[in-house]
Amino acid sequence: MSSSTIQTPAVTDDELRERFRPTFDRIAEGAVQREHERRLPFHEVQWLREARFGALRVPVEFGGFGATIRQLFDLLIDLLIDLAAAESNLPQALRVHWSFVEDQRLAGDGRARHWLAAAADGTLVGNAITEPGVGAADRYRTTLTRKGGDWVLDGIKYYSTGSLYADHILVAADRDGERVSVLVDARQEGVEQTDDWDGFGQRLTASGTTTFTGVVVPEDRILGPGYGAPGRTYATAYLQLVQLAVLAGIARRAEADAVDWVRARTRTFTHAVADLPRHDPLVQQVIGKLSAAAFGARAAVLAVADDLDVLLDAGADDPELLDRAEASAARAQSVVIGLVLDATAQLFEVGGASITSSEAALDRHWRNARTVAAHNPLIYKQQAVGAHVLNGDPLPYAWSAGRRPGVIA
């Protein structure tokens, strides 16, 4: 089994918390208003860009913070939980950016160094992988073809999460029967982005349609086989871990909102056993359950982070470590989804009909959690884990969404 010495942090945990928490607090202030207005958080993404949130994992030599893998998954994921508690749409919108940065770290070539330096300067990367009616596997109708002396991209994508906030878009395409990933400028001629995501939750992730019409792609923007290349990859567990962090953040905010609601409430039911809801043992039990759910979700997230820490520190190509991380992420889905969906439904038990007020927007927690939980459906992950444990069947890796280590087009 591969092993490696964990590097010394270039920045302390306290320094990172001090830098980013004020930005998260600022973002949290407008969460309910953004939900009511369906206002995409462009300003909030810019605040994260200015704080250089996207540069956490970028090495110091390229202008980043040089956070270690341990900090990324023991601290950054904790910070992502904080960000998800402030605004659950943003970590989901940025998750492909984090995977892209990690791909560049693992590749380590000259082109990767260029993109690491760009990330350190605030560049963000979105995605355009899935296609309407086709999915995200080996059936892409988006094509990269030669026209004259240029490579040209044409196609339509959906679930383009985060791309409206990004500087560049990672696109999966077919090139003469070969699956490739290309990187295009988000504002490039021929790129059209539409905020037409109509899900009842995570409404501000900008997960809508992106259309590419005659988009010229330079040779150095063709990054390799990318999403659709079969085999084990760290990216499946990595991307799932961000979604789990989002769910843990939702649980944390649901707990905080329920506590604030109960503390401020002076009216109770005629058959209640206490004059104030905060003194009612049944209400206290619900709050205790919410608190336990938030605690359990965070613990599960960090347990997966530990396995990914070991995997990435060893170079991300050890089959045993890959399977361990993949299985951990799949198992954690069952734990976290169950805890958070139950908690975000139970919070309504602490109040009467007034707790359903649309002004309070407490329903957004369940809607957002239900929407995040629908990604990578749980029933398939549970079956896959069972088959793996019983019969040694292969785990269901979602193929790489970015450059695989060492692969150049």
Measured at the alpha carbon of residue 182, what is the angle toward residues 402 and 113, in degrees to the nearest 5?
A: 65
Q: Looking at the predicted structure, is the pLDDT value of residue 71 above 90? A: no
DSSP string across 214-282: EEEE-GGGEEES-TT--S--THHHHHHHHHHHHHHHHHHHHHHHHHHHHHH-----TT-SSSSGGG-HH
How many C-beta atoms lie closer than 10 Å to residue 273's C-beta? Answer: 11
Please tell me the CATH code under which domain 128-224 is placed.
2.40.110.10
pLDDT at 3: 41
pTM of full prediction above 0.85: yes
Task: Look at domain 235-391 and name its CATH class.
Answer: mainly alpha
Which are the contacts of 368, defined by CB distance < 8 A and separation ≥ 6? 88, 89, 201, 202, 246, 250
CA-CA distance, 164 to 37, in Å (whole number)?
17
pLDDT at 131: 87
> What's domain 13-123's architecture?
Orthogonal Bundle (1.10)
pLDDT averaged over the chain?
Answer: 86
How many C-beta atoms lie closer than 10 Å to residue 311's C-beta? Answer: 26
Please state the domain extents for the chain. 13-123, 128-224, 235-391
Q: Looking at the predicted structure, is the pLDDT value of residue 142 above 70? A: yes
Asked whether this chain's domains 13-123 and 235-391 adopt the same fold, the reply is no
Mean pLDDT over 6-17 rounds to: 71
pLDDT at 330: 94
Q: Looking at the predicted structure, is the pLDDT value of residue 70 above 70? A: no
Buried b (16+ CB within 10 A) or exposed e, 69-107: bbbbbebbbbbbbbbbbbbbbbbbbbbbbbbbbbbbbbb
pLDDT at 255: 93
